[in-house]
A and B are shown apart, each in its own frame.
Chain A
């Protein structure tokens, strides 16, 4: 079974500063994939970034980067140069199998972190 832990219910950051959202995971699968999603107040789930368990380098997508520390089983999201529009819920999620997983493999979500960007 997979488990995702997000220990920060809420985080505050000043506009233009960087912020790190924590995520730890637990799985017995040797192959897995890690995702971060953003959910603004409108409710839509927006995909931000993906990291495969066998990827050698940390994933980056624009202002988002994933600090993947496999031995510690952590996959923290770093948002650089925060913007007011970054205020939202952020969910870390995991899927067994990752890039080679079967189509029925299910995402396991953490409880989320509510990020507030202050002007």
Chain B
């Protein structure tokens, strides 16, 4: 099956520093990658959608200057939390979507294992 990896799985940083999270599709090319944020005991909230080689589309209320997304290739997207603060502490999950043909097209979305960010 398709595998999406995220690195790091956990990160603790000091307030004011920047943190980069990588999302890779290991055995397929992702047409689109998505970044989600999840607070404890809550649902996933979509932050942004990115396509390779183009600017990310951010959801309403998400600061694009704070959450920088780069989608440099069909297998790699990065999320950089700039000048992180304690309120940015959360679980960040990426997903990668591919179009897979099997008598038709099926939008299949694969999730990474998530990155737990703690800002002190």
A34 at the B interface (CB under 8 A): no
Within the complex, the shortest CB–CB distance from A106 to chain B, in Å, comes to 6
With contacts A91-B44, A110-B43 known, is A103 near B99, CB below 8 A? yes
How would residues 44 to 75 of chain B score, 1 for a CB under 8 Å from any chain A CB and 0 otherwise? 10100101000001000000000000000000
Complex contact A103–B107 (CB within 8 A): yes
Q: Across the interface, do A91 and B43 meet the contact criterion of CB distance under 8 Å?
A: yes
Instruction: Indicate with 1 or 0, residue by residue over A94-108, a CB within 8 angstroms of chain B CB atoms.
Output: 010111110111110
> Are B113 and A43 interface neighbours, CB within 8 A?
yes
Residue contact B113 to A104, C-beta cutoff 8 Å = no
Interface residues on A, range: 20 to 34
Q: Does B93 have its Cβ within 8 Å of any Cβ on chain A?
A: yes
A58 to B82, CA, bound (A): 45
A-B CB pair tally, cutoff 8 Å: 57
* Interchain CB contact under 8 A, A44 and B49: no
How many residues on the B side are at the interface (Cβ–Cβ under 8 A)? 28
Q: Which chain B residues border A99 with CB–CB below 8 Å?
A: 104-107
Q: Is the CB of A111 within 8 A of B107?
A: no
Contact A106 B105 (CB under 8 A): no
Complex Cα gap A107–B36 (Å): 11
Residues of B within 8 A of A45 (CB): 44, 93, 95, 111, 114
B97 interface residue (CB < 8 Å to A): yes
Nearest Cβ on chain A to B61's Cβ, whole angstroms: 15
A–B Cβ pairs within 8 angstroms, 25 of them:
A37-B111, A43-B38, A43-B93, A43-B114, A43-B116, A44-B112, A44-B113, A45-B93, A91-B44, A97-B107, A98-B107, A99-B104, A100-B104, A103-B31, A103-B97, A104-B32, A104-B49, A105-B107, A106-B46, A106-B49, A107-B46, A109-B43, A109-B44, A110-B43, A114-B41
The interface of chain A, by Cβ under 8 A from chain B, is 33, 37, 42-45, 47, 91, 95, 97-101, 103-107, 109-112, 114
Interface residues of B (CB under 8 A from A): 31-32, 34, 38, 41-44, 46, 49, 51, 57, 91, 93, 95, 97, 99, 104-107, 109-114, 116
